[in-house]
Amino acid sequence: MVTKKKSRKKTKRNWSRFLWRYYFLGLGLFVLFMFTVSWGWWGYMPDVNEVANPNTTLATEIYSEDEELLGKLYRLENRTNIEYNDIPPYMVEALVATEDARFYKHSGIDAKALIRAVVRLGRDGGGSTISQQLAKNLFHGVETDRTVNRILKKFKEWIIAVKLERQYAKHEIVTMYFNTVRWGNSSGIKSAAKTFFNKPVVSLNPEEAAVLVGMLRAPSKYNPYRNPESAKLVRNVVLNQMEKYEYITESTCDSLKNLELVLDYNFSSHNRGMATYFRQQVHQYMKKWCKENGFNIYSDGLKVYTTIDSKMQEYAEAAVESHMHTLQNQLYREVKRTKLKPWCDPEVNWREDKNYIPKHVKRTWQYKQAKEDGLSESEITAKMNKPVPMRIFSWNGTIDTVMSPIDSLKYYKQILHAGFMAMDPQTGNIKAWVGGINFSHFQYDHVNKRATRQVGSTFKPIVYARAIEDQIIQPCELISSGPVTFEGEDGNTWTPKNSSKPKADPLRIYEGLKHSHNTMTARVMKRMEPNSPLKVKDFSDKLGIDTKKFMPYPSICLGTMDISVYEMVGAYGAIANGGVWTEPIFITRIEDKHGNVLAEFIPKTEEAMNKQTAYVMCKMLQKVPEGGTATRLRTRYGIGFPVGGKTGTTQNNSDGWFMGIAPELVGGCWVGAEDRTVHFRSTTYGQGANMALPIFGLFMKSVNKDKNLKLSDDDFTKPDIEFTIETNCSEYKQPTNNTAGSDEIDPFQR
C-alpha cells in the first residue's frame, strides 16, 4: 500500500512538474512570439516613432473669407482633427462608460474585460479597450481577410495599444480616438457633429453626444438619419451606461431619454452644400498646385482660404435659384402658348427645328451603346422610347420617375442655365461664384474661363471706353443714329441695324449706350479708323480678355464673339477701379495642417485706361438704369444706391447678359440654354433685361440690405485731375466743325 501511495505521489509530482514546465515554456514562447511580432518578423509593425506620429488621412478644408467652412476635399475619408479642449466632458464620459469603463485603470489591455469577453463569448461586450480600438483605427491598413492574419492583427493591436499608453496621456488617446474613429462616411468627431447636427463639437448636447457614441457600435444600423428609432434606442443605452458609472444622475438620465431625436442633417458631399461650383474650381486648382509642390490634396490636411464671402455667396445662390425657377416657367408657358418646342430653326425663328432631337439622340450614350451592341435603327428607336426608372432634376427637388430616354432628352434640352460672379474691383477678390443651377445634376461651370458665350451688347462699353481713352468722342456730343457702313479689305461691306428704332436723331453719345443702339456704337468705333476693330481688340486684351478667341472684324463692336463671365467681370472691374485692371482671384493663402502658411496670392494688376476714362464710363453706365435698358434695376428691384450696368441680348435671344458695377462690387451674369438654338422666341422674355438682370438685382438688393457687409452708399469717386471730357451736358458745347452724323474723324478742340 505504501509503495502505491508513493507511486501516486511521484506521478502527481511529475505531472505537476510537466504542467509547470510547459506552462512556463508556453509563456516564454508566447512572450518570445510577441517580441517577434513587435520586431516585425510576422509582417509590418510600426515603430515607436510612427506610433508617436500616426499617418492619419486629413481632408483639405476650404474656407470663405469670413472663415466659414465651405467644404472639404477628400477621396475616401472626410476627416479633420479637433483639440481635446473642444470636446465636451460628457462626450468623453459617454465614450468611456460605453466602450471602456476601466479606461483610466489599465495600461492599454484590460485583462479583466478580456477574460470576461472570452468566458461570456462577447455577450456582455467585447474586450477591446479604447487604446486597442485606436490602434485599429490608426493602422487598419495591415488587416487582411485571412484568419491567421486577423489573429496576428489582434496581437499587433495589443502591442500598439501598450505603446500608445506609454507614449501618450489618457486625454491624448481619447482625442486621437475621436479624430480617427469612423461614423459611416464621416471620419472624426468634428465631421460627424457637422454631418448629423450641423454644429461644432463643443456645442453638442449630452443627448447628441450619446447618439454619436451609440453609433460606434454599428454606424449603419444606428445611423440617426436612416434609422432614427434604432438610433434613439442605442442613445438611451449609452445614457444608461453613463448613469451606471455615475457620470449623470438618474433624474438627468430619465429626462434625457424622454427627449425626441432632433437632427440637422448636413451630409458633406462634393455635390452638395454651399458654393459647389466654386469648390470644384478650387479643387481643380489645388490638384495642380499640390502636384507642383509635393502635397497630397486628399490626405495632407491643407487649409485653403478663399476670397468668397459666405453671405454674398448665399445671396447669389438664392438670387439664381429664385429667378431661374421663374424664368424656366416663363419658357414653359411660351412653349405651351405657341405649341412649339424651344429648339428653333436657325433660319426661321418661328419654326421648330424638327431635326434637333433626332440629331442629339445619336449623341447620347444609350444610342452609342445600342450601336455597339449591334441593334438596328428600329430596335434602337424602340429602346429609346421605352420608359425606364430614372431620377431627374426639377426646381421642386430631384424627382424619381419613369421616363423614356428620348423624353428625358427633350426635358433636359429645355432647361435654362446660368452663371454669376461678383468681385471686389479694388482687390480682385471674388466674393460670389455660382457656376450653374444645380451641381448634382449639371456640373458644367458657366463662370470659369473656358465657359464662353456670345456677349452681345455688354461689350459695347469697351468700345466707348477705347474711344474716350483716345479722346475722339465726348459723352454729351450729338451724333447720328442712322446707318453706318464698314468696308472690308475683300470688298465686302457690313452695315449693322438697330433692334429698335431710336427715339430721335441725332442723339447724344451717352444715350447710344444707354439705349444700346447698334448703329451709334458702330459709328463710335468707325471714328477710330484706321484699324478700329484691331484697336478695340488690343484694348480688350488690357482688360484681361483672351483676345485670341476672336478676330478683329467690324462686328466686334456689337459683341459677336464668345467671352466668359469671369473675364467680363474682370473687365468691368477695371472701369469701377479707376482704370486699373485687377486679376480676379479666388484664393488668398494655403496653410498646412499645423497652420504654417505655404503660399499667399496677390492679383496681377495693369493700368488699362486712365482715371478720366474710367470715371466717365462709370457715369455713362449709371445712365443705363435711369430710363435705359436696365431701368427695371431701379423700378422693380428698388436699387437706389449708386450703380451702373449694361444689358446684353444675342442673336435670336440665345444668350442673356447683364453686367453691373458699384463702387465696391462688380457682378456679371449669363443666362441661356445648353444649346444656342434653344431659346425664347419672344424678345420680351429673351432679352438680357429679363433673363439675366434680375439675378444681379436680387443679389444687390440682399447685399445692400445686409448692414453687416458694410458696403458704402457713396458714389464713384471723381479723380482729382484736370478733366478734358465734359460730363455735364448742360455745359457741353457741340464743336462747330463737327456736324452731327459725320463719319469723319474730328479731333476735338479742348
- Predicted confidence (pLDDT) per residue in 367-385, tens digit: 999 988 899 999 999 999 9
Percentages helix, strand, coil for the chain (3-state, rounded to 5) are 45, 15, 40
One-letter identity of residue 300:
D
- Hunting for cell 456640373 — which residue is that? 443
- pLDDT in the model for residue 569: 98
Q: How many helices (H) and strands (E) does the chain have?
A: 27, 23
| Alpha-carbon gap, residue 23 to 35, rounded angstroms | 18
Beta bridge partner(s), residue 649: 656
DSSP 71-134: EEE-SS-EE----GGGS-HHHHHHHHHHH-TTTTTSSS--HHHHHHHHHTTTTT-----HHHHH
| Under 8 Å between Cβ of 499 and 489 | no
Element (H, E) at 326: helix 310-338
One-letter identity of residue 352:
E
- pLDDT in the model for residue 732: 80
| Alpha-carbon gap, residue 116 to 670, rounded angstroms | 68
In this structure, the strands spanning 655-662 and 644-649 are antiparallel
Query: Could you give the angle at the alpha carbon of 275 between the alpha carbons of 270 and 278, nearest 5°?
Result: 85
| Under 8 Å between Cβ of 188 and 178 | yes
One-letter identity of residue 470:
D
One-letter identity of residue 530:
P
- pLDDT in the model for residue 738: 58
72-129 pLDDT, tens per residue?
887 656 667 888 999 999 999 999 999 888 888 887 676 665 555 445 444 455 568 8
Cell of 457: 451688347
Q: Closest Cα partner for 632 from 622, 624, 621, 641?
A: 624
> How far, CA to CA in Å, does 413 sit from each of 135, 277, 362, 407, 565?
53, 21, 14, 10, 22
| Under 8 Å between Cβ of 186 and 193 | no
- pLDDT in the model for residue 743: 42
pTM comes to 0.77
Query: SS3 for 139?
Result: coil
487 backbone dihedrals φ, ψ, rounded to 5°:
-110, 130
CATH of domain 448-665+683-709: 3.40.710.10
Q: Closest Cα partner for 667 from 657, 656, 659?
A: 659
Query: SS3 for 656?
Result: strand
- pLDDT in the model for residue 268: 60
In terms of CATH, what superfamily is 77-268? Biosynthetic peptidoglycan transglycosylase-like (1.10.3810.10)
Q: Closest Cα partner for 282 from 443, 567, 75, 71?
A: 71
One-letter identity of residue 193:
A
Task: For the beta carbon of residue 173, count every other beta carbon within 10 angstroms.
Answer: 22
77-268 and 448-665+683-709 share one fold: no
| Alpha-carbon gap, residue 195 to 186, rounded angstroms | 8
| Alpha-carbon gap, residue 281 to 301, rounded angstroms | 18
Domain boundaries, the chain: 1-39, 77-268, 355-413, 448-665+683-709
Cell of 701: 438688393
Residues (pLDDT < 50) of the chain are 48, 51-52, 117-118, 120-123, 141-148, 739-750
| Alpha-carbon gap, residue 718 to 731, rounded angstroms | 18
- Hunting for cell 502658411 — which residue is that? 597
Cell of 636: 422693380
Q: Closest Cα partner for 700 from 657, 667, 671?
A: 667
Cell of 160: 500598439
